[in-house]
């Protein structure tokens, strides 16, 4: 990988937007000159669930073009599993950047398409993703009454204030972090250890902030800015990829964009989270 090139990761919505962009050839050409593109395992999951086979083929053709100056990295859950297991093995010597997250098998599938062009598999993936998304959001929606009672008569916290509350001693953030670690690693972890690991592992930290954002958006009583952080399950879990790029590009102009910017700030990353239109303007006019 050229050290002088910036690394960019696209949300699947942004890949869809690039597929349909009439300036696609010019954008891809300039991408190749200035950027190293990382295609995520989550991208391939969403692409493989595209119901229309022609749309799916065009998306895969675009991903294959991007691989000429890029690579694939693991699905977000596999990344977290690898991080947790490496931390258990190496403890104080653990360094998240040393964990290899490249996914050559995904690169091969984008090129060879042994499974991803199967319409039956596409339907299965689409239905599975839709069901998991509904279950994920319902967890927070079902808890709304509880939070209404908890904040009865009080001003609703901002998202930053809610994160501070969740991260306080005994807060839900650390319980969720420990649960996430144990699920990935199959080993329990103490409170001091999970705090240390979370602070030393930005991908894990970013993922563990997702429930805070979802709680704010879906769990607290409806507010005027009700769509400010509105995003689906996979859109939010793309936060795991933020430490792996200089630029993260999403088609959204509100929900996912705002959510990932909050997470970027909280983790302390230098990653820029941009809308697709902002990115295209920068690529076409400033390069």
- Mean pLDDT (whole number) for 155-180: 89
CB count, 10 Å around CB of 48?
22
pTM, whole model, 2 decimals? 0.92
Rg (C-alpha) for the chain, rounded Å, is 19
**Tens of pLDDT, residues 18-57:** 999 999 999 999 999 999 999 999 999 999 999 999 999 9
Q: At what angle do helices 12-20 and 24-34 cross, to 10 degrees?
A: 130
- Residue 54 falls inside a structural domain: yes
- Residue 1 falls inside a structural domain: no
154-172 as b/e: b if 16+ CB within 10 A: eeeeebeebbeebbeeeee
Q: What pLDDT is recorded for position 175?
A: 92
- Residue 10 falls inside a structural domain: yes
- Residue 26 CB-half CA count within 13 A: 10
Q: Quick check: 255 pLDDT over 50?
A: yes
- Residue 191 falls inside a structural domain: yes
CB count, 10 Å around CB of 204?
26
Contact indicator for 96, 242 with CB cutoff of 8 Å: no
For the chain, what is the domain count? 1
The tokens for 284 are: 């076409």
Q: What pLDDT is recorded for position 227?
A: 67
CB count, 10 Å around CB of 115?
11
Q: Which of 14-18, 38-42, 169-173 has the lowest mean pLDDT?
A: 169-173
- Residue 19 falls inside a structural domain: yes
Residue keyed to tokens 């890949």: 15
Q: Which of 30-44, 100-114, 183-197 has the lowest mean pLDDT?
A: 183-197
Q: What pLDDT is recorded for position 225?
A: 47
What CA–CA distances, in Å, run from 187 to 192, 220, 238, 281? 15, 33, 25, 47
How far is the C-alpha of 2 from the C-alpha of 18, rounded, in Å?
A: 23
Q: What pLDDT is recorded for position 224?
A: 45
How far is the C-alpha of 202 from the C-alpha of 42, rounded, in Å?
A: 18
Residue 95 structural domain:
6-285
How far is the C-alpha of 257 from the C-alpha of 238, rounded, in Å?
A: 11
User: Which of the four pLDDT bands, split at 50, 70 and 90, describes residue 285?
Assistant: confident
User: Which of the four pLDDT bands, split at 50, 70 and 90, describes residue 2?
Assistant: low
- Residue 162 CB-half CA count within 13 A: 21
């Amino acid at each position: 990988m050229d050290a002088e090139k910036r690394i960019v990761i696209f949300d699947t919505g942004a890949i869809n937007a690039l597929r349909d962009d009439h300036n696609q050839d010019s954008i891809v050409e300039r991408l190749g000159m200035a950027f190293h593109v990382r295609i995520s395992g989550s991208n391939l999951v969403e692409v493989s669930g595209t119901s229309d086979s022609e749309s799916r083929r065009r998306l895969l053709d675009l991903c294959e073009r991007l691989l000429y100056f890029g690579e694939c990295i693991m699905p977000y859950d596999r990344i977290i599993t690898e991080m947790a297991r490496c931390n258990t093995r190496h403890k104080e010597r653990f360094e998240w950047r040393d964990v290899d997250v490249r996914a050559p098998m995904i690169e091969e599938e984008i090129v060879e398409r042994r499974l991803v062009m199967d319409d039956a598999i596409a339907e299965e993936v689409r239905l599975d993703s839709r069901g998991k998304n509904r279950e994920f959001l319902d967890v927070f929606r079902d808890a709304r009454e509880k939070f209404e009672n908890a904040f009865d008569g009080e001003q609703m916290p901002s998202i930053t204030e809610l994160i501070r509350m969740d991260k306080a001693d005994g807060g839900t953030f650390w319980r969720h972090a420990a649960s996430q670690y144990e699920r990935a690693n199959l080993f329990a972890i103490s409170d001091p250890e999970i705090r240390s690991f979370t602070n030393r592992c930005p991908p894990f930290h970013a993922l563990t902030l997702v429930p805070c954002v979802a709680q704010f958006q879906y769990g607290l009583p409806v507010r005027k800015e009700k769509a400010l952080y509105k995003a689906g399950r996979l859109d939010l879990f793309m936060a795991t990829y933020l430490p792996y790029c200089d630029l993260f590009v999403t088609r959204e102009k509100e929900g996912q964009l705002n959510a990932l910017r909050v997470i970027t700030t909280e983790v302390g990353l230098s990653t820029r989270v941009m809308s697709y239109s902002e990115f295209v303007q920068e690529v076409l006019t400033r390069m």
